[in-house]
Structure 1
Amino acid sequence: MKAIVITGPGAPEVLQIRERERPQPKGTEVLIKVYAAGINRPDVFQRKGNYPPPPGAPQDIPGLEVAGLIEEIGAGVTAWQPGDRVCALLVGGGYAEYALAQAAHCLPIPDGFDRCFADAASLPETVFTVWHNVFQRGRLQAGERFLVHGGSSGIGITAIQLAKAFGAEVFTTAGSDEKCAACEALGADISINYKTADFEEVLRELGADVILDMVGGDYIPKNLRLLREEGRLVFINTMKGSKVKGADEVDFGLIMRKRLTVTGSTLRNRDHAFKAALTAEIQKHVWPILEKGLFKPVIARTFPLAEAAQAHAFMETSDHIGKIILVNEWS
């Protein structure tokens, strides 16, 4: 099969087409003929050498989510058959003609998707991340106030729509007026251009019950000050750093006085049983929202799989709104 391989740590150009042996499913695995694969920030970090895959995962083929048709099934698989249309969360290997997935980490492609495989490939990584961090760890409830940073990212567009569908009041930050308008079109009640306004000042009187942060750095003390009593701050990344620099100190007394919860997680290294349970909960709670049209994928742009390098370069401009998808032109 053809695959996009990281030939060495570096710029997007290190992503090259190579021939590889087609993997064979064993036990509870399925082999998916990939029609589309989502691009995510962890793919970029892996390409740069900063996010090594876990043991047993493909070491030089990135890609954490795909959509396509099941080609073969392992001997222990009973829930799927060859020809089934699925999207799946992977530990890697998605930038290829074929990819292995655990059967229990696959979901049926929701009914009614206009761009069936491209839309479906945009879902697993962001939906799994948002459901676990916002609704499980963050315990977001209807009527609460929710702030997500990076509202125009894949995580952001998912978090805005799901939080709104489940009855929360939604605030977000984004890096341009155009991105803020897009966030509001998706349901955000307030969207703040962080380049022209201080989100803490804008939201000071309102506060938030749950904050999903992928920024870190100087956002950390602002987030803590914005949280209301019993508030929850959930980290999924720290793109501006995991430490606070400068004069703005973190007052951990706020955590005690307001009884705050500070938590966070990463997804890729979690075990099979955790991801299987998460898959089942998402199919039960999120898939009906998708099929009712209350949450829709937002695709910024698609690229042929052979142009993965160009797609990574586009992601690193941060000019996009929504997900970037690779479409397998070899299928």
Structure 2
Amino acid sequence: MHAITIPEPGGPEALVWAEVPDPVPGDGEVLVDVAASAVNRADLLQRQGFYDPPPGSSPYPGLECSGRISAVGPGVTGWAIGDEVCALLAGGGYAEKVAVPTGQLLPVPDGVDVTTAAGLPEVTCTIWSNVFMVAHLRPGETLLVHGGSSGIGTMAIQLGKAVGARVAVTAGSAEKLERCARLGADILINYREQDFVEELRSATAGEGADVILDIMGAKYLEPNVKALAVNGRLAIIGMQGGAKGELNLGTLLAKRGAVTATSLRGRPPSEKAAIVAAVREHVWPLLADGRLHAVVDSTVPMRDAAEAHRALEESGHVGKILLTP
């Protein structure tokens, strides 16, 4: 098969489309002929040499994919050759084939085409595990989503609204905020021109956010804590703004707040399977009945993955950038 390889870490040009051995499904795994994959920030870090795949996983980038099952390994039940699926991966999505543990498989949702489904597993599993399984967002609460026009952000807006929350977003342009508004965002904050803490307080009568989904890390740690409501929960899922910040414990204590930080890729298979099962139970019906939809910015040939990485780094996109073999 062909896959995107990284002979040496570096810029987008480090991504090389090359012929590599076909993967072989092991116990409890299936082989998926990839219809599409999607680009995530973690892929950029792996390309740069800062985010190695977990031991034993595929060395190729790509944390999600969609396609059709072409072979099943020993001990597989409930899945058959020809099934259309999408999958949460530890790596290997930028390829024509990938071996996937069955616990990380999802059926392609009704009403969603197999290519578009490639952009669903990572965002839905990230949001559901953090916003709902950890931070326990409830109807009537306020959810603040940083990077509202991103792949994560566009789905977080929709999921927040689907459960009856009020959703605030930050984004860097009026055009991106307008796209967020079309998805249901209630409070629109241009982080380039406005102080998100003050804007959020103004829009919530001084209360702040009950849950904050944060991709920035250190840069936003202090203002995020200030933006929390009493009993608020801050869920950190990225470090685009750095890894080390200062936390005022006095402010956190006064608000009886909580700060959590999680990632998906390095979790053991059992934890990933539990998250995938929860997403299938709670999120897939919302996709099937049209209350949620994947927001796709563009589709790029997989051999031109460097172009897709450049687009993600420039941050001009809204939603997911997909790759097709």
**Whole-Å Cα distance in 2 between the matches of residues 91 and 216 of structure 1?**
22
Match of 1:118 among 115, 133, 137: 115
Q: Secondary structure at the match of 1:127?
A: helix
Match of 1:4 in 2: 4
1:278 aligns with 2:250: no
**Whole-Å Cα distance in 2 between the matches of residues 172 and 74 of structure 1?**
43
Match of 2:292 in 1: 295
RMSD (Å) for aligned C-alpha atoms: 1.0
Match of 2:100 in 1: 101
1:200 aligns with 2:211: no
**Whole-Å Cα distance in 2 between the matches of residues 15 and 285 of structure 1?**
36
Q: Which amino acid aligns with 1:121?
A: A
Q: Deviations over 1:57-98 (max 9, x none)?
A: 122x10110000000011110010000000001110111110
Q: Secondary structure at the match of 2:136?
A: coil
Q: Deviations over 1:4-52 (max 9, x none)?
A: 1112100111111111111111110110000100110000100000101
**Whole-Å Cα distance in 1 between the matches of residues 28 and 47 of structure 2?**
29
Q: Deviations over 1:96-115 (max 9, x none)?
A: 110111111100001112xx
Query: Are the equivalent residues in 1 in contact too, given 2:69–2:83 (CA < 8 A)?
Result: yes
Q: Secondary structure at the match of 2:224?
A: helix
Q: Secondary structure at the match of 1:81?
A: coil
Q: Secondary structure at the match of 2:218?
A: coil
**Whole-Å Cα distance in 2 between the matches of residues 41 and 151 of structure 1?**
15
Match of 1:150 among 147, 150, 153: 147
Gaps of 5+ in 1: none
Q: Deviations over 1:191-216 (max 9, x none)?
A: 11111111111112421100011112
Q: Deviation at 1:255?
A: 1.5
Q: TM-score, normalised by structure 2?
A: 0.97
| Percent identical | 50
Runs of 4+ in 1 over 6 A off after TM superposition: none
Q: Deviation at 1:272?
A: 0.7
Q: Secondary structure at the match of 1:204?
A: helix
Match of 1:307 in 2: 304
Query: Are the equivalent residues in 1 in contact too, given 2:135–2:235 (CA < 8 A)?
Result: yes
Q: How many residues align?
A: 321
Q: Deviation at 1:242?
A: 2.5
Match of 1:44 in 2: 44
**Whole-Å Cα distance in 1 between the matches of residues 43 and 276 of structure 2?**
21
Match of 1:131 among 128, 136, 153: 128
Q: Secondary structure at the match of 2:143?
A: strand
**Whole-Å Cα distance in 1 between the matches of residues 68 and 75 of structure 2?**
18
Match of 1:226 in 2: 227
1:69 aligns with 2:68: yes
Query: Are the equivalent residues in 2 in contact too, given 1:90–1:101 (CA < 8 A)?
Result: yes
Query: Are the equivalent residues in 2 in contact too, given 1:29–1:77 (CA < 8 A)?
Result: yes
Query: Are the equivalent residues in 1 in contact too, given 2:67–2:115 (CA < 8 A)?
Result: no
**Whole-Å Cα distance in 1 between the matches of residues 76 and 154 of structure 2?**
33
1:78 aligns with 2:77: yes
Q: Deviations over 1:236-270 (max 9, x none)?
A: 012111233xxxx6421122121111111011000
**Whole-Å Cα distance in 2 between the matches of residues 93 and 216 of structure 1?**
27
**Whole-Å Cα distance in 2 between the matches of residues 47 and 241 of structure 1?**
18
Gaps of 5+ in 2: none
**Whole-Å Cα distance in 2 between the matches of residues 266 and 218 of structure 1?**
18
Query: Are the equivalent residues in 2 in contact too, given 1:211–1:223 (CA < 8 A)?
Result: yes
Query: Are the equivalent residues in 2 in contact too, given 1:90–1:100 (CA < 8 A)?
Result: no
Q: Which amino acid aligns with 1:182?
A: R
